[in-house]
Amino acid sequence: MASLRLWLCGVAVLALGIPGSQIARADSKDRASDPTVLVRALVVHAEKKPGQVDWICEKLRKKLEPMNFGTLRVIQRRQFKLRFGESGRLALPEGREVRFLPISVVRHQLHMQVEMPGPVNTRMRMTSGRGVILGGVEHGDGYLIVHMVPNFRVPRRASRSIPRIPGGALHRVRKPAE
């Protein structure tokens, strides 16, 4: 079965004319045995007073509109590639840190333990590509806000194949005569 899958991937690559494409790598043993979660993290200093809003914070500003922040400055941008059960640490100013641990993917959602000094110590369910905003830690004249966006692949289910009967006919089993 594995050799058939490999052959089909080879045919798909030749048909598309893209050597080394994602299709060829999608079923490789390395990918299947090494599932990872990519977490993009953004640490932002937010203040109420009017001021500069960094270009990368525009979408975040719209989500934080009810909070009425006039200044949003990026302090740090990081990207983590973590295996399930591997902890990530994001250093905050003044020696604090945010810790997060991808646990599993259940029903297309990532379960991740997140710990932020003070306001947050929880297990979250996150969708791939959709961000989560953590905030509330005071810093200077404002607050620190952490925006985390996970990206992961949803594991495939094992396919349940129905055994085929040669010729495609169904055979009825009769009760033996007594």
* Together in a domain, 18 and 57: no
| Cα 84–Cα 85–Cα 87 angle in degrees, nearest 5 | 105
SS3 40: strand
Residues of the chain with pLDDT under 50: 1-33, 158-159, 162, 170-171
* Together in a domain, 68 and 24: no
* Together in a domain, 2 and 41: no
* Together in a domain, 46 and 128: yes
* Together in a domain, 26 and 42: no
Evaluate whether residue 160 is within a structural domain: no
Evaluate whether residue 176 is within a structural domain: no
Q: What total number of domains does the chain contain?
A: 2
User: What pLDDT score does 120 carry?
Assistant: 76
Q: Which of 3, 73, 15, 2 is nearest to 44 (CA)?
A: 73
CA distance 70 to 45: 11
* 110: phi then psi, degrees, rounded to nearest 5: -80, 130
Are the beta carbons of 80 and 42 closer than 8 angstroms?
no
* Together in a domain, 51 and 113: yes
Cα-based distances in Å from 87 to 83, 102, 107, 148, 158: 8, 7, 22, 14, 28
User: What pLDDT score does 25 carry?
Assistant: 36
Range(s) of the domain holding residue 125? 35-151
Q: Mind listing the pLDDT tens digit for each residue in 6-46?
A: 332 332 333 333 333 333 333 334 444 458 999 999 999 99
* Together in a domain, 83 and 109: yes
